[in-house]
Each structure stands twice: as C-alpha cells, then as structure tokens.
Structure 1
Amino acid sequence: MRGYGPGRLFGPRARLRWVHLILGGALLMPYFLLAQVGVGMAAGGVNALSSLPLILASYAVALPLVAVTGVFGLVRPMSVAAVRAMCAVPGERLAEGPARSWAARGRASAWWTLHLGVGAVLSGMTLAVPPMAVTLIALPFVSGLRGIPRELGWGGVAAEPYVTPLIGAALLAALALCVAGAGALLARAAPVLLGPTAADRLAEAEERAADLAVRNRLARELHDSVGHALSAVTLQAVAARRVLGTDPGFVREALAAIEDTTRRTVGELDAVLGLLRDGDPARADAAPAPTLAADLDGLLARTRAAGTPVTVHQDPGPAGDWSGLPAIASREAYRIVQEGLSNALRHGSSPVDLRVRLRRGGPSGPRAHPDLEITMTNPPTAPDGREPGREPRTTGGRGLRGAAERAALLGGSVEAGPHQGGWRLRAVLPLAGTGR
C-alpha cells in the first residue's frame, strides 16, 4: 500500500483536491443555514449556532436536503466537470451529459451528498485547525499567548510550553492527512457514482451510430460525385488529346463536357464540405443532391461525351418521366446509376445498356407497392473482359458497397458481378413508405 509522502500531501493534485473539498463545503452552506433555522425553531427559538449539538443537528438535517436536490439532471454534468478538473480522474471513466434514468440520478445524488458532506467537515477543519496550530507553535516564543491554554482549560499544556509546537505540527499533519484521505476517497468514488450507466452507454452507442450513419452518407456522396467526375473528366481529356489535330469539333465538345462536369462537381463538393464543417447531422438529408427525375439526362450526356455509348430503356415512356418518384428514391436511384456508369468508364468503353423501369407486379401476383428496378449491363470488348490498358473488374469496391448501402436504406438490394460474359449491376428499390 502506498503511503502519503510530501508530494501526495502537498503536491498539485492534493492541493486541487483540497480546493474541491472546500468548494463542497461552500456549496453546503445554503443548505446548512436553512437547516439551522429549522433546528433553532424546533429547539425553542434559540440560535442553532450557539452550541455544538445544535450545529451537528443542523448538519444532519442539511444532508437530506442536499440529497433531494442531487436528483436534478444537471447536477451530474456539473459534478463531472469539477471532478475532471480537480480530482485527477480519467475522463473516460465518467459519464457525459445529464443523468437520463432514475438510477443515474440516485447515484449522482449520492455523490452530491458525499461531496458536500465531506467537504463541509474538511472546510470546518481547514478554518479551525491552522490558527490553532500556529498559536500552539508560537506559544513558547510569544509571552502574550501563554494565557490562552489556561483559558481553554489546557493547564497541562501551559505547564509544559515546549510541547505545544509538537502538538501544533501534529495538528497540521493530521489536517493534511485527513484532506489527502478524503480527496482519495472522493477520487475512488467518482467513477462509481458518476460513471456511465447501462442507459448512458446505450445512448452513447446510439449517438455514435447516428453520427457514423451521417458520415457514411457524406462519404458516399463524395465518392459517387467526385469519383464519377474524375473518371469522366479523365476519359474526356484522353479522347480530346487523341483527336486534337484531326477533330476540333469533338475537342470542343469534350472541353465543354469537362467544364460542365467540374462545375457541377464543385457545387456538390462545396455542399458536402459545408455539412462536414458545420457538423450538423440534421442538415445531411437537406443537402442539395441530384435526382433521377431532374439530372439523369445530363449524367447520360456527360458519359457519352467521355466516349462510352449508352443505350437507355425507360419505363414509363421513352423519355422517362420520373417526377412522380419519392424524393429519396429518386436521389438514391440517381447515385446508383451514376456508380454503374462510373464503373463502365473506369473499366472499359464498351456499350452500356441501361434499363430503368417501374415494376408494378411480381411473379407471385400484383404488388401492393411498386418497385424501381435498375439494370446496367456492360459486355466485354476483349476475351478477358476488359480493354487493353484498363484495370479488370472486381467483385465490388467502395462504390458498389455504397450503392448496396443506398439500396439497403430503402429496403432494397444491389447485385453486381459477371453476367453472360460481361458485367451486370441490378438494383431493386422498394417505393413503399419512402414518402416524398
């Protein structure tokens, strides 16, 4: 067992804990003054501060009052802040925020009562012991002080004045030991009484999960918008460089497509970075995002300008009127189509066949709610399934995982992989309960 050396009794940590105890004593004073009024009236209208028994009775009555006020939710964060600042207790062992359950409120009330109760005793000792100890230490050297022991009834001490400095030093040492012991007691009790409960841990886990969901959403937006733009711009620049001297018209079209792509992507990037900078999860769903209804034609045009032929089949109608889709379904469908086209740009320039249709019935009978089905097929241009110099397809990277997460948010699914010698991405998005 470690002892109490000079550093542990008078070091910075001990001094801070001493201040913490004195603050507890100061916080008890309003309760104590209220209690002593009641005790004085119960004792016949006398001053409760006039005798030690009444003072102790007032102290005993004040503690239940302290316990009652300790159940308020804001008591715990205030206590935790003081403990972190002055008791050298690791922050991860203490709870965050107001007490959420009655069990947590009860523990916070117990801490509040312990802190103020012990702090009041140590504050009284701090006020009384040092003057008494200094008087006893100075007694042999100051003749005017030698009558004090007789006035206090300490005749034996007055007869042996050389003993008083030892008694004074012992009193100071005892005070330091009491303060160090009380500070250590509170430091040990703090994680028990102010530590997180099961409800706190559950709430913290839910907050982390919500924050992670928002971060994943923003990461998907960045990956899909910036990744597609970089793939399209790269291929458009390569195609323009190859025909720079022979087809000026194509070069102008490619440069115009690059300008349009980068302008749109900068706008989307600025919106996402603004959300990250503000740190407001509630704004994540309100961020402007392209939709299938408003932006599919532009996406197809930019993909074709990069040199990848795209054939589109849309139901309803050849032009695809998707204005009736729920907003979230239209937004997530656009991103899934964008990811499929990005894969086509990265892994080859063979034609892409895109089919977007509203399924109103299934193999087992009519559906109560329709589904949106997106199918993209990309046949290979070489026996190994890729063009020379292009990276081979894999079973799915970040983009495909992001597409699967988008579909899962709506209760749907995404399948991607080799299909009849080529590559197919198929997504099904249920429209039931997605709202507008």
Structure 2
Amino acid sequence: MTPLLGRRARQRWLHLIIGGALLMPYFLVGTVIVGLYRPDVNVFNSPVNQLIAFAYALPMAAVTALVPLARPLSVAVARALCGLPPDRPLADGPARTRQARVRSAAWFTLHVGLGGVISGMTLALVPFAVGVMGLSFFAGLREPLSMYLPEGLGRTWVLALAPFAGIAMLVALTGCAAAAGALLANRAPVLLGPTPDDRLAAAERRAAELAVRNRLARELHDSVGHALSAVTLQAGAARRVLDSDPEFVRAALTAIEETTRRTVGELDTVLGLLRRDGNGAGDGAPDQPSGPGLDALDGLLAHCGLPVAYVAGGDPDGVPGAVSREAYRIVQEGLSNALRHGGRGGPVRLRITVHAAGELEIVLASPLPERPAAVRPGGGRGLRGIAERAVLLGGRTEAGEHDGHWRLTALLPLHTPAQEQR
C-alpha cells in the first residue's frame, strides 16, 4: 500500500488538490462563458456543460502561466510536494526565454488540469463510496434507494457486496491520484528543468567565474610569488655576508624594502579586483587595466635581485594600457623564473621591442644552471600563466633552451581582440 498511501503519495495527492484549487477561478470564468450562450441551462447540474467550462479554463490557465514568475512559484511547490529524486534538478529563477515560458505554461496547465480532475473525484467519490459501504449497515441509507434495489435474493447480494464495492471505489481513486502524481513528478524535470538556454547561461556564468579566478590567481602568483622569491634570495645572500660585506647587506635590505613596498601596492590592487569581481561593484570599468605597466619596469629591474641587461626598441610609452600591464607581468614572471632556476653565468638579457607592424616583442634570456633545478611541489604555473596572458590578448609565447640560455619570447598585438571588435 506504500505506493498508494505512503508519504510521497499523500504529498502528491495534496499537490493535485492544490492544482484543483488553482483551477477554480478559471473554471468559474468558464461557467460564465457557457452561461452566456446557454442561459436556460444550469451549468452545475449538467456534466456536459461542466466539461465545456473545464475546457475553457485550461487555455486561460496556460495564458496566465506565461509570466516569468510562474516558473519559480511552480518549482517551489513541485520541490516540496512532488517527491522528486535529487538527481533531477529544476530551474531556479524566472522564465526569461520563450521556451522556458512555454514549458512553464505547459506544466501549470497539466498541474491544474489533473488537479481539477482528481479534486473533483475526491470530493464526489469519497462520500459516495462511504455511502455505498454503509448500505448494508444502515437502513436509513437504503430507504431513498429502495426503488432502485432488486427484490429478494438480488437485494441480499447487492447489500452483501456493497462494502466491497465502496472499498474498490476508494482504491480506484487512490490509484488514480497516485498515477496522476507520478505523471506530474515525471514531467516536472522536463517542463520545469533548465532549458538549453538556461544551461548555456549557466555555462557562461561558470566560465566567467573561472576566468575571474584564473585572473586573480595569475595576479597573486606573479606579484606575490616574484616578491617572495626575490626577498628570500636577497635575504639569504645578505645573511651569508653579514659580517664581511656590510655594503652588500645594506643594498640587499634596501632592495627587500623596495620589493615589499611595491608588492604591497600590487596586492592591494589584486584585492580590489577580488572585491569588485566578487560583489559586482567597484571603482572603474571591469575591463579597465589596473596594476603596474611598462612605465614601472625600471623599478622592477633595479630591485629584482639579478643583474639585467635591458634594451628597449620602438616606443614602449605608446603601448596601450592593457598590453603594457600584461607585458610587465610577463617580464616579472620571467625574472622570477630566472631568479629561482637560472645559472650564474652572466646577466639576464631583456629586450622589449615595439614593432611597426603593431606587435610588442619581449625576449628574456637567462643563463642555464649547471645542473637541473629541483622541481618544487605545486610549481610550474608561471609559464602557463604567461601563455594565458598572451592568449587573452591574441598573442603567443615560446620558452625553451636557445644558445646556452633559457629564452622566453612573447609576441603581443598592440590592439587586443576586444578593441578590434569595437
């Protein structure tokens, strides 16, 4: 009896009765329409006219369910009373697209239509079945029906079978309610679930969130990671010559101070991006470049902890802000890699050239170590971050051994894809 009278079946029956209650205003309007062209007939005494009024009510219910807010209301009721399995998700939020509104209207129409039928059966069949079961036990119930009951042995059989007939009616009603509730539960994920447009919008939101996370991860990795690497190496070198070379120690401490001061400013910028992207508000446009650019390159090279031979070609000051900012980060990560893994065979060579063809070229070459550097757990994100920065601007990068050096090359277009579209 669990499928017919269990907790889930009772909840679905209640859901159907709610649908019948929601149908009543439309049904009453339908009776008014029937009464307009059949004024001589009492609609409530004619089953045929009631069916006609029911047929008028369903289209009216479908039209009113086309409003966007109909879907979240239907979803809330269906989740509470339909007993849906957890692996069948429903859509959240109003129906914004035409497809979603049509599906919501179809669900609402199915709900109130089945609900009206089951509610009518419940109201009519339950007292009738109880009356039939009582024919054998109460003479007062038999008197109004005496003219319809057979005489003699036939009446005896009718009265003997009446309780079983009443029970059969209730079982049939319960089965119809359970079947209608199961049908609603089966159709709910289809009609109230995410449409293809909803899934596409959700995928776009997830992609945007992932892009924000990756951007913040790159910012933190490049700024904080570079600063920690430089500070660690400079502090270690200063400790080794603390007693023998005070001037070097003083220079190392100055470099540490400048590096940490600059990194605090960059970290504040990254945290500002985090607050803006997390809360959807903040100062400036979402795509506005922030953080240091090529104009801050001299300070980076002076306190990076490595001797750098820098050559500039073209006009770096005319590089657009977004490209300048990403170029700075690429150089910063390249210097960080040279600081951690490079050899001591000479200075790092850096060349930044602005070509007339509209490209910014970055070439950074550092000496190879005498023996391979130990692989850090969780490392290896720097080159991937550099490649991601270049790809976002429509550029490309290359990294590998070349003429006894580890060389990093990046080509960045001066006009990003977004600017070209505008």
Place the TM-score, normalised by the shorter chain, in its bin: 0.7 to 0.9
Cα distance change on mapping 1:355 and 1:278 into 2, 3 Å: same
SS across alignment from 2:215: helix
1:225 aligns with 2:208: no
1:11 aligns with 2:6: yes
> Which of 37, 40, 52 does residue 42 from structure 1 map onto?
37
SS across alignment from 1:411: coil
> Which of 21, 25, 28 does residue 30 from structure 1 map onto?
25
Question: Equivalent residues in 2 for 1:374-393 (5 A)?
Answer: 374-380=362-368, 382=370, 384=371, 390-391=373-374
The root-mean-square deviation of aligned C-alpha atoms, in Å, is 3.4
Cα distance change on mapping 1:43 and 1:346 into 2, 3 Å: same
Structure 2 counterpart of 1:290: 291
Cα distance change on mapping 1:135 and 1:158 into 2, 3 Å: farther
Conservation of the 8 A alpha-carbon contact between 1:139 and 1:145 = yes
Task: State the TM-score, normalized to the length of structure 1.
Answer: 0.80
How far is the alpha carbon of 1:219 from its aligned partner?
Answer: 2.4
Identity of matched residues, %: 52
Task: Name the CA distance, whole Å, in 1 between partners of 2:202 and 2:107.
Answer: 22
Task: Name the CA distance, whole Å, in 2 between partners of 1:155 and 1:132.
Answer: 16
How far is the alpha carbon of 1:295 from its aligned partner?
Answer: 3.2
AA at the equivalent of 2:361: E
Conservation of the 8 A alpha-carbon contact between 1:358 and 1:371 = yes
Structure 1 counterpart of 2:114: 118
How far is the alpha carbon of 1:182 from its aligned partner?
Answer: 0.7
Cα distance change on mapping 1:203 and 1:105 into 2, 3 Å: same
Cα distance change on mapping 1:37 and 1:255 into 2, 3 Å: same
Structure 1 counterpart of 2:332: 338
Task: Name the CA distance, whole Å, in 2 between partners of 1:58 and 1:74.
Answer: 26
Which segments of 5 or more consecutive residues in structure 1 lack a partner in the other structure? Answer: 1-5, 361-366
Structure 2 counterpart of 1:270: 271
Structure 1 counterpart of 2:395: 412
Conservation of the 8 A alpha-carbon contact between 1:77 and 1:98 = yes
Deviations 1:372-415 (A, max 9, x none): 22111112353x4x6xxx4379xx93221121111111111111
1:68 aligns with 2:63: yes
1:424 aligns with 2:418: no
Deviations 1:312-347 (A, max 9, x none): 222357xx5x2x432221221121111111111211
Task: Name the CA distance, whole Å, in 2 between partners of 1:298 and 1:164.
Answer: 99
How far is the alpha carbon of 1:292 from its aligned partner?
Answer: 1.2
SS across alignment from 2:355: strand
Question: Equivalent residues in 2 for 1:140-219 (5 A)?
Answer: 140=136, 145-147=141-143, 149=145, 155=149, 161-219=159-217
Deviations 1:250-297 (A, max 9, x none): 353254246425523542453354357547899994587313145323
Cα distance change on mapping 1:30 and 1:129 into 2, 3 Å: same
Task: Name the CA distance, whole Å, in 2 between partners of 1:10 and 1:25.
Answer: 20
Conservation of the 8 A alpha-carbon contact between 2:289 and 2:322 = no
Structure 2 counterpart of 1:301: 302
> Which of 361, 382, 391 does residue 399 from structure 1 map onto?
382
Structure 2 counterpart of 1:325: 319
Deviations 1:64-117 (A, max 9, x none): 222333444443444344333332144545455555654554444333222211
SS across alignment from 1:336: helix
How far is the alpha carbon of 1:58 from its aligned partner?
Answer: 0.5
Structure 2 counterpart of 1:352: 348
> Which of 372, 375, 391 does residue 360 from structure 2 map onto?
372
SS across alignment from 2:291: coil
Which segments of 5 or more consecutive residues in structure 2 lack a partner in the other structure? Answer: none
